[in-house]
Amino acid sequence: MEKSVSSHGGGTASGWVIAHAGLVPAGGRVLDLAAGGGRHSHYFADRGHPVVAVDRDITALAGRPGIECLRADLEDGSPWPLPGRAFAGVVVTNYLHRPLFPAIRAAVAAGGALIYETFARGNERFGKPSNPDFLLADNELLGLALPDLRVVAYEHLTIELPRPAIVQRIAAIRA
Ligand SMILES: C[S@@+](CC[C@H](N)C(=O)[O-])C[C@H]1O[C@@H](n2cnc3c(N)ncnc32)[C@H](O)[C@@H]1O
């Protein structure tokens, strides 16, 4: 059964993120994309990583030492808000906007890791998200990583916690 552990200011960190956080080089800067309440920003900051949290609503994270907050709409056609920046860790959870895939992949520094987990097709049977725009197709995260990252772990399955859902998730490194 899926475990959800490690509660932080922004909520309970994903078990997948926790399980693969060790792929991020110690002390390396982490990008938490579409950070929301910042559960993973807090998690990595607590592990000693400087964090850049990006979201269109970053109010929940404002003022937290060690977390640089960047307010940006990632879907309005504006340029990628972190041009030329690469990160030891790139974390994306419960968020999908496919046009960002190339920028997400490019944001993984040499030696760094991508940790991505979000809902997949079939999740509509459990509720939202049910719009196909927000649901990964089979193997889609593999397609995101494979051009130049090495896949360390990949799953596509039904989880029970924090609520029943169908998710796809990947951990990959730029070797
Ligand atoms: C379901 S929440 C996930 C938050 C966090 N990643 C987590 O797993 O706890 C989705 C997040 O995407 C952000 N978001 C949605 N559309 C966005 C956009 N166009 N630009 C920036 N952020 C957006 C929302 O503000 C929200 O914080």
pLDDT tens-digit series, residues 18-48: 999 999 999 999 999 999 999 999 999 999 9
Which tokens is 119 given?
């809902």
Within 8 A by CB and 6+ apart from 163, the residues are 126
**If you measure from the C-alpha of residue 42 to the centroid of ligand 1, how many angstroms do you get, rounded to a whole number?**
16
User: What CATH homologous superfamily does 7-173 map to?
Assistant: Vaccinia Virus protein VP39 (3.40.50.150)
Detail the DSSP E strand segments found in the chain: 7-8, 11-12, 30-33, 51-55, 67-71, 87-93, 108-119, 150-159, 165-173
101 to 37, 96, 159: CA distances (angstroms): 22, 9, 24
Confidence band (pLDDT; 50, 70, 90) for 1? very low
Within 8 A by CB and 6+ apart from 15, the residues are 2, 3, 4, 5
Whether the CB of 168 sits within 6 Å of ligand 1: no
Q: Which atom of ligand 1 is nearest to the CA of 75?
A: 19
Whether the CB of 20 sits within 6 Å of ligand 1: no
Q: Which atom of ligand 1 is nearest to the CA of 95?
A: 10
User: How confident is the prediction for the chain on average, in pLDDT?
Assistant: 94
User: What pLDDT shows up at residue 115?
Assistant: 99
55 to 52, 58, 164: CA distances (angstroms): 10, 5, 25
User: What pLDDT shows up at residue 3?
Assistant: 42
Whether the CB of 162 sits within 6 Å of ligand 1: no
* Distance, CA of 21 to CA of 47 (rounded, Å): 9
Say which residue, 127 or 6, is predicted with more confidence. 127
- For the ranges 7-16, 73-82, 129-138, the lowest mean pLDDT is seen at 7-16
Counting residues of the chain whose pLDDT is more than 70, the rounded percentage is 94
| Per-residue pLDDT tens digits for 86-136 | 999 999 999 999 999 999 999 999 999 999 999 999 999 999 999 999 999
**If you measure from the C-alpha of residue 94 to the centroid of ligand 1, how many angstroms do you get, rounded to a whole number?**
7
| Per-residue pLDDT tens digits for 132-141 | 999 999 999 9
User: What pLDDT shows up at residue 11?
Assistant: 86
Confidence band (pLDDT; 50, 70, 90) for 7? low
Residue whose CA lies nearest to ligand 1 atom number 26: 36
* Distance, CA of 38 to CA of 8 (rounded, Å): 9
95 to 13, 25, 33, 144: CA distances (angstroms): 15, 24, 8, 14
pLDDT of 5 higher than 50 = no
**If you measure from the C-alpha of residue 55 to the centroid of ligand 1, how many angstroms do you get, rounded to a whole number?**
6
Q: How many CB atoms lie within 10 A of CB 34?
A: 21
* Distance, CA of 139 to CA of 168 (rounded, Å): 8
Confidence band (pLDDT; 50, 70, 90) for 2? very low
